[in-house]
Amino acid sequence: MHLYIVTGSSRGLGAALVAQLTQPGHTVLGIARRTNPALRAEQWTLDLADPLPAAERLQAWLRAHTGWASATLVNNAALLSAPGPLAGTELSQLSAALRVGLEAPTLLSRVFLAETAGVATRRILNISSGLGRRAMAGSAAYCAVKAGLDHLSRALALEAPDVGIVSLAPGVIDTDMQVQLRGADPARFPEQARFQGLKDGGQLQTADATAASMVRFMLRPDFGKTIVADIRDA
């Protein structure tokens, strides 16, 4: 039996990943603030803006469920605070974005690595972004979180060379986050027109198509060879 744990599983890319991974021989566990009735996987309703309870629950669950042929953690959940200058961002929004996007993956990765030590094949897939590698005004927290995921992945790969660890930019996907960016006030978010142009130009990928590419990428025998990667280059 192969285990897959996916955060941010109720919608968008996370839901598409869970749907495609749910098949015979797989146990799929989704973690999100709400459930998605269309998904047949086990779903935990947890807010990763308060990540410690989620990490503790996963720790207890992994200790009670063993014997996996492989285990994979997909840190997909992200929270975009309102686009605009950092100085104008609500403190509560900023804190939640940082905790969901970086603290939660760090805690969950710690639990996963410790509690799956006897599993022959292990993978951690951190969903990063091109904005972790190219700064953008009006989205400082998101840029910082994704850059942090890239570097967390590099450090973990040094600590756990037997685990496939990748921080993967998935390309530009037509999700609620894109709607939020396109709907931002151009006076506060100078890049608004560029994101609107991506939509108008038909350059956004569907969540389903991106998830299919990512599943194929995860299952490649050389997964982890390139730690910081982009699905468009795979």
Model confidence pLDDT, tens digit, residues 70-103: 999 999 999 988 899 999 999 999 999 999 999 9
Share of the chain above pLDDT 70, in %: 100
Would you say 5 and 58 are in contact if contact means Cβ atoms under 8 Å apart? yes
- Cα 199 to Cα 172, 194, 195, 202, 231: the distances in Å are 10, 9, 7, 5, 19
pLDDT at 50: 98
- Domains of the chain plus CATH, in order, are 2-171+207-233 (3.40.50.720)
Distance CA 33, CA 77 (A): 10
φ/ψ of 50, rounded to 5, equals: -125, 80
pLDDT at 62: 98
Cβ-Cβ contacts under 8 Å for 118 (sequence gap 6 or more): 66
pLDDT higher than 90, residue 187: no
pLDDT higher than 90, residue 8: yes
pLDDT at 161: 98
pLDDT at 175: 82
**How does strand 70-75 pair with strand 42-45?**
unpaired
Per-residue pLDDT band for 11 (boundaries 50, 70, 90) equals: very high
pLDDT higher than 90, residue 176: no
pLDDT at 184: 85
Q: What is the 3-state secondary structure (H, E, C) of 75-102?
A: ECCCCCCCCCCHHHCCHHHHHHHHHHHH
Would you say 48 and 7 are in contact if contact means Cβ atoms under 8 Å apart? yes
Indicate the average pLDDT of the chain.
96
- Judged by average pLDDT, the poorest of 57-61, 62-66, 119-123, 172-176 is 172-176
pLDDT at 49: 98
pLDDT higher than 90, residue 189: no
DSSP 173: B
pLDDT at 85: 96
Per-residue pLDDT band for 190 (boundaries 50, 70, 90) equals: confident
pLDDT higher than 90, residue 164: yes
Distance CA 195, CA 188 (A): 14
For the stretch 167-192, what's the b/e string if a residue is b when 16 or more beta carbons lie within 10 angstroms of its beta carbon? bbbbbbbbbebbeebbebeeeebebb
pLDDT higher than 90, residue 234: no
pLDDT at 178: 84
Cβ-Cβ contacts under 8 Å for 144 (sequence gap 6 or more): 98, 102
Q: What does the block give as tokens for 102?
A: 């970086």
Q: What is the mean pLDDT of residues 178-200?
A: 87
Per-residue pLDDT band for 183 (boundaries 50, 70, 90) equals: confident
